């Protein structure tokens, strides 16, 4: 690969999924240049290439970074990703996720960058009537987070048609787990994701888990999600980038296991893996949460050759537990 072909701009590369993907990119021979404002990302998580601090909405800072590194490809993780917060403060979500992504797309256009892999989400589907969820399922988001990501998918599709910027959207189901080598893991502040909160409840480092809703139309009344190991997601990004390079990428791929687990089942699996009791209490539903989200990722299997290998629920929890036991950041 030539220098500019090897260099990949990774927005949000200091974050959870972004940093795991930088590791995978480096293993595949790419040089990840991380662009991150470090609001939620961590400097210690940038280990495989340079870090450029900057806000995704800042067109002039983006221009500087494009001029310096001349990347042809971009992996775009930067954005806000808390469903509950997006319901309470939608403006912030449209600002960072939509206006920020538009600034990035404009910078790509101005600087001749030709390919982008976008971090989208199953939240763009809302509460679908049919399960599992394929890519053709109508996208009708029920929270501002999902709506903001869908708007970006649309912007990128329009830029593809008008300006020839090739793009693909990876619609993640629930990212979870930690790097098996122990170099990286989930470290959000605030933490709102189920698995780290269950682990915190198990270790006593966090309060008992609040189970959001026990009256859903599911076998045990709690929400069902499709948990996918973060390193499996990272591997999918490398495959999607290669597909863009070869001109074979489709507009979107679902990334999940196709297997759903309820909140209760995650609690039980965590008790099994850790050997500890998990204190929890039943609480009201969290606004914006659909009852069941389970993927059909056949397209990613067939077109990208992507198969999750670390996403058994116990493997996910074991890796997250190993990371949790290493303590709090900064991590070396």
User: Which of residues 45 and 263 has its CB atom nearest to ligand UDP in the complex?
Assistant: 263
User: Which of residues 209 and 294 has its CB atom nearest to ligand UDP in the complex?
Assistant: 209
We find the least distance from the C-beta atom of residue 192 to ligand UDP, in angstroms, to be 5
We find the least distance from the C-beta atom of residue 122 to ligand UDP, in angstroms, to be 8
Burial class (CB within 10 angstroms; exposed 0-12, middle 13-18, buried 19+) of 259: middle
User: Which of residues 104 and 211 has its CB atom nearest to ligand UDP in the complex?
Assistant: 211
Q: Are strands 7-11 and 51-53 parallel, antiparallel or unpaired?
A: unpaired
Four-point Cα dihedral 85, 87, 88, 92, nearest 10: 70
Closest-by-Cβ residue to ligand UDP is 223
In the complex, the residues that contact ligand UDP under the rule CB under 6 A are 83, 174, 192-194, 197, 209-212, 223, 225, 263, 286, 289
We find the least distance from the C-beta atom of residue 330 to ligand UDP, in angstroms, to be 24
Structure tokens at 126: 């809302």
We find the least distance from the C-beta atom of residue 271 to ligand UDP, in angstroms, to be 15
SS3 content of the chain, % helix, strand, coil (to 5): 40, 15, 40
Please check whether residue 231 is in contact with residue 180, taking contact to mean a CB–CB distance below 8 angstroms: yes
Q: Which residues are catalytic?
A: 145
User: Which of residues 113 and 199 has its CB atom nearest to ligand UDP in the complex?
Assistant: 199
Four-point Cα dihedral 228, 230, 232, 235, nearest 10: 150
CA atoms in the 13 A half-sphere facing the CB of 41: 29
């Amino acid at each position: 690969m030539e220098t500019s072909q090897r260099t990949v701009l990774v927005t949000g590369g200091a974050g959870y999924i972004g940093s795991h993907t930088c590791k995978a990119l480096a293993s595949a021979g790419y040089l990840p240049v991380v662009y991150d404002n470090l609001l939620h990302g961590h400097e210690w998580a940038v280990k495989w290439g340079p870090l450029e601090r900057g806000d995704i909405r800042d067109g002039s800072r983006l221009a500087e970074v494009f001029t310096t590194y001349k990347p042809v490809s971009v992996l775009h993780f930067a954005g806000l990703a808390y469903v509950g917060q997006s319901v309470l403060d939608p403006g912030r979500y449209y600002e960072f996720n939509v206006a920020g992504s538009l600034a990035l797309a404009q910078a790509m256009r101005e600087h001749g960058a030709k390919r982008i892999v976008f971090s989208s989400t199953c939240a763009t589907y809302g509460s679908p009537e049919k399960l599992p969820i394929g890519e053709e399922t109508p996208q009708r988001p029920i929270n501002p987070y999902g709506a903001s990501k869908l708007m970006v998918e649309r912007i990128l599709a329009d830029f593809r048609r008008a300006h020839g910027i090739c793009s693909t959207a990876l619609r993640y189901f629930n990212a979870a787990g930690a790097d098996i080598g122990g170099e990286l893991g989930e470290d959000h502040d605030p933490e709102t994701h189920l698995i780290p909160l269950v682990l915190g409840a198990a270790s006593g480092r966090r309060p008992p888990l609040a189970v959001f809703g026990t009256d859903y139309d599911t076998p045990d009344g709690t929400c069902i999600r499709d948990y996918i190991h973060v390193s499996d997601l990272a591997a999918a990004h490398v495959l999607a980038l290669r597909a863009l390079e070869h001109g074979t990428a489709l507009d979107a791929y679902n990334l999940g296991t196709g297997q759903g687990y309820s909140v209760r089942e995650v609690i039980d699996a965590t008790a099994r893996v850790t050997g500890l009791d998990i204190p929890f209490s039943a609480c009201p539903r969290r606004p914006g949460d659909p009852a069941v989200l389970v993927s059909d990722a056949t397209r990613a299997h067939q077109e990208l050759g992507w198969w999750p290998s670390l996403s058994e629920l116990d493997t996910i929890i074991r890796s997250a537990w190993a990371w949790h036991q290493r303590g709090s950041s900064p991590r070396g």
